Amino acid sequence: MPAVEQYARAHIVTDSTVDPPAVPVALRYDPEADPRQVHIVLPGHHEWAFSRDLLERGLRSPAASGDVNIWPCGRVQAVMEFHSPEGVDVVQFDSYALIRFLRRTYMTGTPVRS
């Protein structure tokens, strides 16, 4: 089955009074490597892997697993929070980009084995 890769624009949330510009973020899914996980690659080659189910749940209501928290922000945005020993990255996406990515992962036709 083919891997899915999609690029999206996201905003890195900071405590600055000036909104930073949107940055490119890679969304990846490889059903051959692991049909349960998605990958988010932030600028600077910071890559996070977490369950596809967590992403789906986090678009509807706050969800967390390990070092990743996801929650809806209003009607059209979602926030992801990534914790590491170096600190916390908070990224805001248009929900539609994440929904489109999830749909594409399900269209690969790869069943998730229990």
User: Domains in the chain, ordered, with CATH?
Assistant: 4-108 (2.30.31.20)
Distance set, CA 56 to CA 69, 90, 101 (Å): 12, 18, 10
The predicted-structure confidence for 11-20, as pLDDT tens digits, reads as follows 988 776 777 7
CA–CA gap between residue 31 and residue 102 (Å, rounded): 12
Reported pTM:
0.86
**Model confidence over 13-42: pLDDT tens digits?**
877 677 778 899 999 999 999 999 999 998
pLDDT band of 83, cuts 50, 70, 90:
very high
